[in-house]
Amino acid sequence: MILSKPKIAIVVGSKSDLQIIKGCEKILNEFNVDYDLKVLSAHRTPVETQQFAQNADKVYDLIIAGAGKAAHLPGVIASYTILPVIGLPIKSSTLDGIDSLLSIVQMPKGIPVATVAIDGAENAALLACHILTLKYPYIKELLVNYRKRMADEVLS
């Protein structure tokens, strides 16, 4: 679907993941990218998760999916949509998020999930913005300015 303004979905597996998503929200607001934030669980609400993912390309440009522990949510969502899915491993267990990271990054071939660092919410949103430049060139300039500000901060 051709959208005139970027819109993405952020999906997390539990309300307990919402705190970490604030990092995504901050970046997306800065880049003027609209988003819907949903809590959907691949194991607690499998039917609703499937329904969401099957219809997502009618509404969104891409999906950020964050989950912890046995974090199959991004992979399951990716299996039902051709939209790019960015997986955000959330540190929510006694294994320090290594379990989430491996569950998300180790997708078997055929259904890729672009995985960012454990609790890498800002990078998940930034990667989303980079992908969105393919369709919304105005975001390019915002990314260039963002990097310039970052460099200035390092050098000041």
Binding residues for substrate, as ranges, are 14, 17, 44
Cα dihedral 89, 92, 98, 101, rounded to 10, equals -10
Q: Does 62 bind ligand RP5 (CB under 6 A)?
A: no
The annotated binding site is made up of: 14, 17, 44
Query: In this structure, are residues 69 and 99 in contact, taking their beta carbons and an 8 Å threshold?
Result: yes
- Contacts of 73 by beta carbon, 8 Å cutoff, 6+ apart: 11, 12, 13, 40, 41, 42, 49, 65, 66, 67
Site string for ligand RP5, 102-141 (x = CB under 6 A): ----------------------------------------
Structure tokens given for 154? 């390092």
Stretch that binds ligand RP5, among 22-30, 45-53, 64-72, 109-117 (CB under 6 A): 64-72
CA distance 124 to 143: 14
Q: Does 92 bind ligand RP5 (CB under 6 A)?
A: yes
Q: Does 14 bind ligand RP5 (CB under 6 A)?
A: yes
Site string for ligand RP5, 65-84 (x = CB under 6 A): --xxx---------------
Q: Does 45 bind ligand RP5 (CB under 6 A)?
A: no
Taking residue 54's Cβ as centre, other Cβ atoms within 10 Å add up to: 12
User: Which residues would be at the binding site for ligand RP5 (CB under 6 A)?
Assistant: 12-14, 16-17, 41, 67-69, 90, 92
